[in-house]
Chains A and B, each alone.
Chain A
């Protein structure tokens, strides 16, 4: 069975349409979406409507939560003042664009979706705002995967895809001074990148096709007409810097880089 896992669309309708066409061409049995349907991009409502029409499992992203519950004040969201001010501007614009039914849909999304031994979250099992960066401390990464109670944990949020296997770990604890060693089960974290806001230095959309039989995860990098999205950003009156950054593959605002930073806020 092939599962296409997509994430972080951010109102980029052009990218989403192209990725769905690519999925159609690859014998995919199921699609799972890891959230952040909106934010920064010019077509938040269109993207929500399209995703809704697919009737696929979708988990809530940090932007989906913020536009329905108000801006989150945790530091994970905005690593700089510049990013925060741009983010707030995009937040206010997006909230104005979304129809009430779209807001209801986003507000009702679950934080985690499990399917057999697979888990799907936006950021981490603890928070949609927490970044599981590829160089996160191994023990912490393993703990996140164990917390999700799955063998393979799919996430997005960082916008940089990776496939990380955590194997051969042991945990030593002392109980009344007596050490006990507990073998940690092998876990795997797969970040599927971003459909609508890549940050790998190219404007192409990324997603992952996962073969549940073989365990092979195939990263798909899909070129799309990002210039149309850039033009729409400007037409909609969003800051032109968003268009420039999208064309550079730099994300709209700014990326998180501190792998040691963990969100202090749990999933509500």
Chain B
């Protein structure tokens, strides 16, 4: 059993340090690695995990992603698994399956556990204890450079801090609001208006917003907003078009902010969604392409 690795780098360093850390792990054959990622909302945790997966996917090693705080809204996991088809994913109630998956590995593997800003940093301590039986586990905090001189909960928690040039600084007093939207189809102009209102503060101060939204032409779009780095991203999701009836796949919205006005949010979202009759009309207008 290899003892848990500790980063030698605790100061600023950004990507340069990250590369050195990766080399350190690889040269030491310390390749059964589980990284627990924490940090402020909107700092880029999932993006950082995605970059890590991209770096490792060519090696053919098994990889997993687990977000214990995703609840019924597996936004990040869904997107990652759509992009990386070999990535194993687990729901919050599948911790035992995750441990079995790790235990079954007979070679190098990589894993990432992402803790949302709403999660206690001790979350998953029991899981990590179990995982440490067969993998190196480390805590990586992603923090904005502007917090370098401050004391945050992540400073003490992290084995390694990755400093990022982001303007995100708020982590106290934030509220999380999210809602599954599976089966709902949005009228595009309504969605555009709603998202504009949302990001301009009509429903409270939103510092982070993201969601998967189904459109009547069968496409699904990912909308992503971070108050520290506007404007929003509108990205088509690489999955098949849904042509008939209500999409039987995951979609949903997640917001982090203050003074979020839940009834108004729900009303606005409801007003953007097509009825069965409207959806049928729209789907007739978008013919199914030949295979």
Which one, A81, A245, A248, contacts B190 given CB within 8 A?
A81
Shortest beta-carbon distance from A81 to chain B in Å: 4
> Closest Cβ of chain B: how far from A157's Cβ, in Å?
19
Contact A82 B200 (CB under 8 A): no
Contact of A81 with B200 in the complex, beta carbons under 8 Å:
no
Assembled-state Cα–Cα distance A83/B188 (Å): 12
A241-B197 in contact (CB<8A): yes
The stretch of B127-135, B150-158, B237-245, B271-279 in contact with A is B271-279
Query: Would you give the shortest CB distance from A256 to chain B, in whole angstroms?
Result: 11
Assuming the contacts A241-B197, A241-B202, A244-B202, asked whether A82 and B187 have C-beta atoms less than 8 A apart, the reply is yes
Q: Give residues of chain B (188-206) contacting chain A, Cβ–Cβ below 8 Å.
A: 189-190, 193-194, 197, 200-202
B55 contacts chain A at the CB level, 8 A cutoff: no
Q: Complex: how many Å from CA A239 to CA B202?
A: 12
- A80 x B202 contact (CB < 8 A): no
Contact with B268, one of A79, A241, A248, A254 (Cβ below 8 angstroms): A241
Q: Which chain A residue shows the least CB distance to B189? A: A80
Chain A residues 214-268 with CB under 8 Å of chain B are 239-241, 244-245, 248, 254
Check B264 against A241 for contact (C-beta < 8 Å).
yes
Structural contact, B264 and A240, CB atoms closer than 8 A: yes
Complex partner residue of B193 from A239, A244, A254, CB under 8 angstroms: A254
Which range contains the number of A residues in contact with the other chain?
A: 10 to 19
The chain A residue with its CB closest to the CB of B272 is A82
B261 touches A82 (CB 8 A): no
Question: B248 at interface (Cβ–Cβ under 8 A)?
Answer: no
Residue contact A81 to B272, C-beta cutoff 8 Å: yes
- Are B193's CB and A85's CB within 8 A? no
Chain A positions 84 through 104: 1 when the CB is less than 8 Å from some CB of chain B, otherwise 0: 011000000000000000000
A239 CA to B261 CA, complexed, in Å: 12
Taking CB atoms and an 8 Å cut-off, the chain A residues in 42-84 that contact chain B are 79-83
Known: A239-B267, A241-B268. A80 touches B190 (CB 8 A): yes
Chain B residues lying within 8 Å of A81, measured Cβ to Cβ, are 187, 189-190, 271-274, 278
Kindly state the separation between the CA atoms of A38 and B267 in the bound complex, as whole angstroms. 24
From the candidates B189, B201, B261, B278, name the one contacting A79 in the complex (CB within 8 A). Answer: B189
Q: How far is the CB of B261 from chain A (nearest CB, A)?
A: 7
Contact across chains for B271 and A85 when beta carbons are under 8 A apart: yes
- Among B165-191, those with CB < 8 Å from A are 187, 189-190
Q: Are B193 and A80 in contact (CB under 8 A)?
A: yes
Q: Which of B202-217 contact A (CB under 8 A)?
A: 202
Interchain nearest-CB distance for A244 vs B (Å): 5
Neighbouring A residues of B194 by C-beta, 8 Å: 82
**Docked CA distance A248–B190 (Å):** 18
A71 to B190, CA, bound (A): 20
Q: Chain A contacts of B273 at CB under 8 A?
A: 81
Residues of chain A contacted by B193 (CB below 8 angstroms):
80, 82-83, 254
Q: For the complex, what is the distance from the CA of A79 to the CA of B193, rounded to whole Å?
A: 11
Cα-based distance from A81 to B278 in the complex (angstroms): 10
Which residues of B sit under 8 angstroms from A79, Cβ to Cβ?
189
Complex Cα distance, B202 from A245, in Å, reads 8
Nearest CB of chain B from residue A17's CB, rounded to whole Å? 27
> Which residues of chain B have C-beta atoms less than 8 A from A245's C-beta?
197, 202
Let me know if A82 and B264 touch, CB within 8 A. no
Q: Which of A80, A85, A86, A248 has the most CB of B within 10 A?
A: A80
- Name B residues whose Cβ lies closer than 8 Å to a Cβ of A: 187, 189-190, 193-194, 197, 200-202, 261, 264, 267-268, 271-274, 278
What are 22 pairs between A and B in contact, CB < 8 Å? A80-B187, A80-B189, A80-B190, A81-B187, A81-B189, A81-B190, A81-B272, A82-B187, A82-B190, A82-B193, A82-B194, A82-B271, A82-B272, A83-B190, A86-B271, A239-B267, A240-B261, A241-B268, A244-B202, A245-B202, A248-B200, A254-B193
